Amino acid sequence: MAHHVTRREFVKRGGGLLVGFSLIDGSVAPRLLASTPRDSQAAEDPSAPPDSPSRLDAWLRVDPDGLVHVFTGKVEIGMGVETAFAQIIAEELDVPVSHVRFVMGDTAQTPDQGGVGGSTSVSNGAKPLRNVAASARAMLLQAAAPQLGADPAQLEVRDGIIINPAHPATRVSYGAVAGRADLHEILQVTGAGFSLNVEGAGTPKDPSTYRVVGTSVPRVDIAPKVLGTFRYVTDVRVPGMLHGRVIRPPATGAHLVRVNDEPARRIQGYVRTVVKHDFVGVLADTEWGAIKASQAVDLTWSEPAANLPSHDSLYTWMRQATPKASRQTLPHGPSTSAGAGDVESALSLASSRVEASYEFPFQSHATMGPGCAVADVREGQATIWSGAQKPHALRKGIAELIDMPIEHVRIVWVEDSGSYGRPGFEDAAADAVLLSQAAGRPVRVQWMRADMTAWGAKGPAVVCDLAAALDEHREVTAVRFTSRAFSGGEILYQPSTGDNFLAARLTGVPNTSSVDEFVSWGGQTPAYAFPNVQSIAHVVASLYDGPSPLRTSHLRDPEGPAASFAVESFIDEVAAASGVDPIALRLKWIKEPRAQAVLQAAAEKAGWQSRPSPAGHARNSAGDVLKGRGVALGTRNGTYVGTIAEVDVNRRTGALRVTRFVCAHDCGLIVNPGALTRTIQANLVQSLSRAVHEEVAFDDRTVTSVDWRTYPIARMADVPPTVDIVLINHPELPPGGAGEPSSRPTAAAIANAVFDATGVRMRRAPLTAARVKAALA
Calculate the alpha carbon distances from 446 to 135, 253, 375 in Å: 43, 24, 12
- Cα-based torsion angle of the residue sequence 647, 652, 654, 657 in order, rounded to the nearest 10 degrees: -30
Contact window for another protein (CB under 8 A) among 341-349, 352-360, 519-527, 673-681:
673-681
**Residue among 69 and 690 whose Cβ is closer to another protein:** 690
Work out which of 228, 593, 607, 623 binds another protein, going by CB under 8 A.
228
Question: What's the min distance (Å) between Cβ of 571 and another protein?
Answer: 26
CA distance linking residue 656 with residue 650, whole number of Å: 6
Between CA 75 and CA 116 the distance in angstroms is 6
If the CB atoms of residues 198 and 212 are measured against another protein, the closer one turns out to be 212
How many degrees, rounded to 5, is the angle at CA 685 between CA 681 and CA 689?
Answer: 165
78 binds another protein (CB under 8 A): yes
- Cα angle: 473, vertex 475, 478; to 5 degrees: 135
Q: Output 648-652 pairs: Cβ under 8 A, ≥24 positions apart.
A: 648/757, 649/625, 649/754, 649/757, 649/758, 649/772, 649/776, 650/624, 650/625, 650/626, 651/618, 651/624, 651/625, 651/626, 651/758, 651/776, 652/624, 652/773
CB of 11 to another protein, least distance (A): 30
Which of 46/721 has CB closer to another protein? 721
Cβ distance 94 to 127 under 8 Å? no
Only one of the segments 216-224, 353-361, 589-597, 730-738 lies at the binding site for another protein (rule: CB under 8 A); that segment is: 216-224
Contacts with another protein in 238-297 (CB under 8 A)? 268, 286-289, 291-292
> What is the spatial distance between Cα 146 and Cα 26, in angstroms, rounded to a whole number?
42
Distance, CA of 458 to chain centre? 13
Rounded Cα gap, residues 5 and 1, in angstroms:
12
Q: Of 43 and 682, which has the nearer Cβ to another protein?
A: 682
For residue 475, which phi and psi values (nearest 5 degrees)?
Answer: -95, 145
Q: What is the DSSP letter of 122?
A: I
Q: Which is nearer to another protein, 684 or 748 (CB)?
A: 684
Note whether 568 binds another protein by CB under 8 A.
no
What DSSP state is assigned to residue 454? T
98: three-class secondary structure by DSSP: helix
- 407 makes contact with another protein (CB under 8 A): no
Q: Which of residues 79-108 bind another protein (CB under 8 A)?
A: 79
**Which residue in the set 139, 684, 762, 765 belongs to the binding site for another protein (CB under 8 A)?**
684
Contact status: 33 vs another protein (CB under 8 A): no
The residue among 30 and 304 lying less far from another protein, judged by its C-beta, is 30
**In 3-state terms, what secondary structure has residue 365?**
coil
- Does residue 77 bind another protein (CB under 8 A)? yes
Beta strands 161-163; 171-173: pairing state: antiparallel
User: Which of residues 40, 190, 203, 229 is near another protein by CB under 8 A?
Assistant: 229
Q: How far apart are CB 219 and another protein at their closest, in Å?
A: 6
Q: How far is CA 318 from CA 305, 464, 542, 771, in A?
A: 20, 11, 10, 21
Residue 719 interacts with another protein (CB under 8 A): yes or no: yes
Which residue, 210 or 232, is less far from another protein as judged by CB? 232
Choose which of 120, 135, 363, 417 interacts with another protein (CB under 8 A): 417
For the bound state, the minimum distance from the C-beta of residue 708 to another protein, rounded and expressed in Å, comes to 4
Is the alpha carbon torsion for 384, 385, 389, 392 positive or negative?
positive
Q: How far is CA 725 from CA 112, 605, 651, in A?
A: 34, 9, 29
Among 675, 726, 772, 776, which residue interacts with another protein (rule: CB under 8 A)? 675
Q: Does 723 bind another protein (CB under 8 A)?
A: yes
Q: Establish if 716 lies at the interface with another protein (CB under 8 A).
A: yes
685 touching another protein, by CB under 8 A:
yes
CB 395 within 8 A of CB 412: no
Size of the site for another protein (CB under 8 A): 64
Task: Closer to another protein by CB, 415 or 695: give it.
Answer: 415
Q: Which of 169, 622, 717, 777 binds another protein (CB under 8 A)?
A: 717
Give the contact letters, 338-377, x = binds to another protein (CB under 8 A), - = no. Answer: ----------------------------xxxxx-------
- Answer for which of 184, 205, 449, 617 binds another protein (CB under 8 A) is 449
Rg (CA), the chain: 28
Name the segment binding another protein (CB under 8 A); options: 219-227, 317-325, 569-577, 604-612: 219-227
Residue of 192, 713, 760, 769 that binds another protein (CB under 8 A) = 713
Query: Please, what is the minimum distance in Å from the beta carbon of residue 51 to another protein?
Result: 28
Task: Report the site for another protein in 505-544 (rule: CB under 8 A).
Answer: none
Q: Which of 2, 259, 404, 682 binds another protein (CB under 8 A)?
A: 682
* Choice from 137, 219, 636, 764 touching another protein (CB under 8 A): 219
- Reduce the secondary structure of 13-48 to three states and give it as a string: HHHHHHHCCCCCCCCCCHHHHCCHHHHHHHCCCCCC
Residue from 43, 184, 201, 232 binding another protein (CB under 8 A): 232
Whether residue 350 contacts residue 469, with contact meaning beta carbons closer than 8 Å, is answered with: yes
Q: Is 210 in the site for another protein (CB under 8 A)?
A: no
Choose the binding region for another protein from 43-51, 256-264, 489-497, 674-682 (rule: CB under 8 A): 674-682
Q: How far, in Å, are 450, 664, 676 from residue 595 at the CA level?
A: 41, 10, 19
Chain CA centroid to CA 25, Å:
30
Nearer to another protein by Cβ, of 13 and 678: the residue is 678
**Is residue 119 near another protein by the rule CB under 8 A?**
no
| Sequence letter at residue 382 | A
Nearest distance, CB of residue 245 and another protein, angstroms: 11
Q: Does 749 bind another protein (CB under 8 A)?
A: no
- How far apart CA 77 and CA 179 sit, in angstroms, is 34
| Nearby residues of 604 by Cβ (< 8 Å), 6 or more positions away | none
DSSP-assigned beta bridge partners for residue 535 = 329, 481
Q: How far is the CB of 723 from another protein (least distance, A)?
A: 5
- Neighbour-count burial of 63, counting CB atoms closer than 10 A to its CB (0-12 exposed, 13-18 middle, 19+ buried): buried
| N- to C-terminal Cα separation, the chain | 60
**Contact status: 24 vs another protein (CB under 8 A):** yes
Comparison of 230 and 317: residue with beta carbon closer to another protein: 230
Q: Which is nearer to another protein, 292 or 441 (CB)?
A: 292
The smaller minimum CB distance to another protein, of residues 50 and 391, is found at 391
Q: Which residue among 22, 146, 182, 223 contacts another protein (CB under 8 A)?
A: 223
Beta strands in 436-551 (DSSP E): 443-446, 458-459, 462-470, 476-486, 532-540
Q: Which of 7, 127, 231, 665 binds another protein (CB under 8 A)?
A: 231
The piece of 171-179, 662-670, 705-713, 763-771 that touches another protein (CB under 8 A) is: 705-713
Q: Which among 756, 727, 739 is positioned nearest to 687, based on CA atoms?
A: 739
Instruction: Report if residue 770 touches another protein, rule: CB under 8 A.
Output: no
Residue 286 Cβ vs another protein, minimum distance, rounded to whole Å: 7
446 is a contact residue toward another protein (CB under 8 A): yes
The verdict on 735 binding another protein (CB under 8 A) reads no
Give residue 468's Cα distance to chain centre.
33
C-alpha dihedral sign at 171, 98, 29, 12: positive
Residues of the shown chain interacting with another protein in the complex, contacts defined by CB under 8 A: 24-25, 77-79, 218-219, 221-223, 225-232, 234-235, 237, 268, 286-289, 291-292, 366-370, 415-418, 446, 448-449, 674-675, 678-679, 681-689, 707-709, 713-717, 719, 721, 723
